[in-house]
Amino acid sequence: MPTPARHLSGATELLREFNHDSLYTKAEWEYPAASYRALGALSGLVEKLEQAIEQSVRPVMHTYEHGRVRIDGGGDADQAVRHMLAAVDNAKKAAGLLSATVKHLHAITSPMGLDTAGLPGFDD
């Protein structure tokens, strides 16, 4: 059974594949509709980041709440967890802004299309 972290690893791999496949213009990746579809999918992905960020630290919090977090080198667990929670808050805010911005970008590309006037193979 896959662990939650393996799902994120899989998502990372799929994004890497997208980045590779979308690097160059080619069939099915040359017109505005392709951007619109990609941005719609990306919007769906990034809107889930806030929740994923928060849930990614649940194992730490579970361990911390049971008094079992140890910091390498004898560091202060309370201080480390406070620092982690501040970083989580910042990451969630950034993810929310990213989500709103990608949704906006998706909406901007919605009315864009291909001007087929004069192109061979298209009826005018």
Residue 95: how many other CB atoms lie within 10 Å: 19
As a whole number, mean pLDDT of residues 92-102 equals 98
State how far the Cα of 32 lies from the Cα of 49, in Å rounded to an integer: 26
Looking at the chain, the number of H-run helices and the number of E-run strands are 5, 0
Quick: pLDDT tens for 8-29: 999 999 999 999 999 999 999 9
End-to-end CA distance of the chain: 54
State how far the Cα of 62 lies from the Cα of 68, in Å rounded to an integer: 9
Position 122 scores a pLDDT of 86
Q: How many CA within 13 A on the CB side of residue 72?
A: 0
pTM of the model: 0.89
| Largest Cα–Cα separation, the chain | 74
Cα Rg, the chain, nearest whole Å:
21
Share of the chain above pLDDT 90, in %: 95
